[in-house]
Amino acid sequence: MIMNGKKGVILGVANSKSIAYGIAKQCAEQGAQIAFTYLNESLKKRVEPIAAEFGSENLVYPCDVSNPQEIKDLMVSLEKDMGKIDFIVHSIAFAPKDGLTGRFYDIPKASFDIAMDVSVYSLIEVVRELKPIMSDNCSVLTLSYYGGVKYIPNYNLMGVAKAALEMTTKYLAEDLGVDGIRVNAISAGPIKTLAAAGIGEFRFMLKWNEAHSPLKRNITTTDVGNSGMYLLSDLSSGVTGEVHYVDGGYNIMGMPAVSFNEEGKQTIAWDGNK
């Protein structure tokens, strides 16, 4: 198995529909031992059954990344229970509701600061605090979205946060490369997750991506999980600083595909009412 003997931690699993769950599943199937974190007691009840599914019921830890002490405590717990770790998955993002609605220039500074702290700086802090227990060829993976590169309706503040996250990935990759540590990001297409529920008109977004991506389908958590497993394993030993798209090819499209009607006139190959 590709990840036999590998040990790592996944931060941000919310439920069995989350992207982080898809990554955990594919890594576990390839032999990885995985620890999980939870934000609060409410989410702990969701994470514990997932950890048990992968034989990690004794590897579940609290970690609110907005609390620096909890990240430090996580390192101590991981070192005690697992020793060195070989991978980290950072699947954490948050923006207050007023950062995802209304006009962009009305976003309060306090909301901007919260989004950047939780969604971006947390990656830096997690890497810094866990670095003492990282193996010589540790792989770090975070999750982005196309809204950090191009304008996406209703994504607003999270788009700015994802842009910052992608550049953070590149700077960390250069900084940690000398230590043998790789840092990459996956930019996944839209998936029905708990986080996606906060984005307005998300069903329309799914239809649009399905119609206009080259593969003509929406992606699944298994699609992302397979790519995540690759980036966390030794198969990608020469890859770092990359933003790997798993979106059915949507990111390559410059405009919607067109077709011709019986009169020979061009028509957009999608009906939003379908």
- The residues annotated with a catalytic role in the active site are 145, 155
- In the sheet where 33-38 sits, what is the strand order? 60-62, 33-38, 7-11, 85-90, 134-144, 182-188, 243-246
Q: What distance in Å separates the CA atoms of residue 70 and residue 62, rounded to the nearest whole number?
A: 7
Q: What distance in Å separates the CA atoms of residue 130 and residue 113, rounded to the nearest whole number?
A: 24
Query: Residue 254 burial (CB < 10 Å; 0-12/13-18/19+)?
Result: exposed
Phi-psi region of 145 (alpha: psi -120 to 50; beta: other; left: phi over 0): beta
Count of CB atoms situated within 10 Å of the CB of 200: 12
Helix (H/G/I), strand (E/B), else coil: 153: coil
Greatest Cα-to-Cα distance within the chain, rounded to the nearest angstrom: 71
Residue of 54, 40, 44 whose CA lies nearest to 7: 54
Query: Residue 202 burial (CB < 10 Å; 0-12/13-18/19+)?
Result: middle
Task: Say if CB 82 and CB 132 are below 8 A apart.
Answer: no
Phi and psi (nearest 5°) for 234? Answer: -70, -10
